[in-house]
């Protein structure tokens, strides 16, 4: 089955999905998908241009998230999951990379949807994706999505939120400006055509005042500017506030003595963080 065919089959299931049943979703056993996929050079070039990445002889850290997206969407639209994929909010993302990623490799990809969990604002869906090269684990992603709903009555303990981290005073590194047109280009290239990213009109169908930027587009744009040089590292990002389109924000970052590189994307007169993250050696 081709990558594109798999992707459009998932979207067809998403469009036919009935109303969500959050309580039943909490009973779902983990689901898994596997595939072997290689990068299309022309598509990779367009991705580099769209994310303002310099040419290189290795893959950018977020690219395998794009390559494995059909597997991820297939899980989120699986008939066994009684929740709609359209309108899900990407709230957290972690990528771990253990070695440089060759551009011409054929990757063994494995994606798993964990059993959904209760969240203070609905249901939390976690998709773990692994990328192997000749049976060596080279790359891993954990992506968390929120299905917003009214509070769920359950006997399970809801995890206590961690205390908010103090906002470090970081020097400004760059300005990021995104538009709905740029978001649509990224959506078509990545395959992520969630209506909340495409236009203000389609976003309003999900209770949002305007279209939101793709979280992974923001992450790729930030990493293009920070350009980690260590071979093995982890990039954690928390998407704390919506980046409404069109919009502009300031990227702040600093390299600490221990090798950690915190970064923030700040927006508005009060300079609140749209996202916060860290690059950590592993």
pLDDT in tens, 21-46: 899 999 999 999 999 999 999 999 99
pLDDT value at residue 155: 46
Question: Domains (ranges, CATH) in the chain?
Answer: 3-16+27-281 (3.10.129.10)
pLDDT value at residue 16: 67
- List the beta strands (DSSP E) in 205-244: 233-239
Q: How far apart are CA 41 and CA 209, in angstroms?
A: 37
pTM beyond 0.75: yes
How is residue 208 annotated by DSSP?
-
pLDDT value at residue 170: 85
Digit-coded pLDDT (tens) for 130-183: 999 999 999 999 999 999 987 665 544 444 444 445 455 788 889 999 999 999
Question: pLDDT of the chain along its 282 residues, tens only?
Answer: 456 557 778 877 877 666 778 999 999 999 999 999 999 999 999 999 999 998 899 999 999 999 999 999 999 999 999 998 888 899 999 999 999 999 999 999 999 999 999 999 999 999 999 999 999 999 999 999 999 987 665 544 444 444 445 455 788 889 999 999 999 999 999 999 988 999 999 999 988 999 999 999 999 999 999 988 888 999 999 999 999 999 999 999 999 988 899 999 998 766 789 999 999 999
């Amino acid at each position: 089955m081709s990558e594109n065919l798999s992707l459009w089959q998932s979207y067809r299931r998403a469009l036919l999905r009935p109303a969500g049943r959050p309580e039943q979703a909490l009973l779902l056993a983990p689901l898994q998908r596997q595939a072997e996929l290689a990068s299309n050079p022309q598509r990779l070039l367009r991705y580099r241009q769209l994310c303002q990445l310099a040419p290189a002889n290795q893959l950018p850290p977020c690219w395998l998230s794009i390559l494995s997206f059909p597997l991820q969407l297939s899980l989120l639209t699986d008939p066994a999951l009684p929740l709609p994929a359209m309108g899900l909010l990407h709230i957290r993302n972690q990528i771990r990379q253990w070695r440089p990623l060759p551009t011409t490799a054929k990757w063994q990809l494995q994606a798993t949807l964990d059993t959904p969990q209760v969240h203070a604002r609905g249901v939390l869906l976690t998709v773990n994706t692994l990328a192997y090269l000749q049976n060596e684990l080279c790359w891993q992603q954990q992506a968390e999505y929120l299905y917003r709903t009214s509070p769920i009555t359950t006997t399970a303990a809801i995890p206590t939120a961690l205390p908010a981290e103090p906002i470090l005073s970081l020097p400004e590194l760059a300005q990021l400006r995104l538009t709905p047109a740029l978001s649509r280009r990224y959506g078509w290239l990545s395959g992520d055509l969630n209506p909340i990213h495409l236009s203000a009109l389609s976003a309003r169908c999900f209770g949002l005042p305007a279209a939101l930027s793709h979280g992974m587009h923001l992450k790729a744009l930030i990493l293009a500017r920070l350009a980690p040089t260590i071979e093995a590292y982890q990039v954690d990002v928390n998407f704390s506030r919506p980046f409404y389109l069109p919009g502009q924000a300031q990227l702040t970052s600093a390299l600490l003595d221990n090798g950690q590189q915190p970064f923030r994307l700040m927006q508005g007169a009060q300079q609140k963080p749209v996202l916060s993250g860290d690059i950590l050696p592993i």
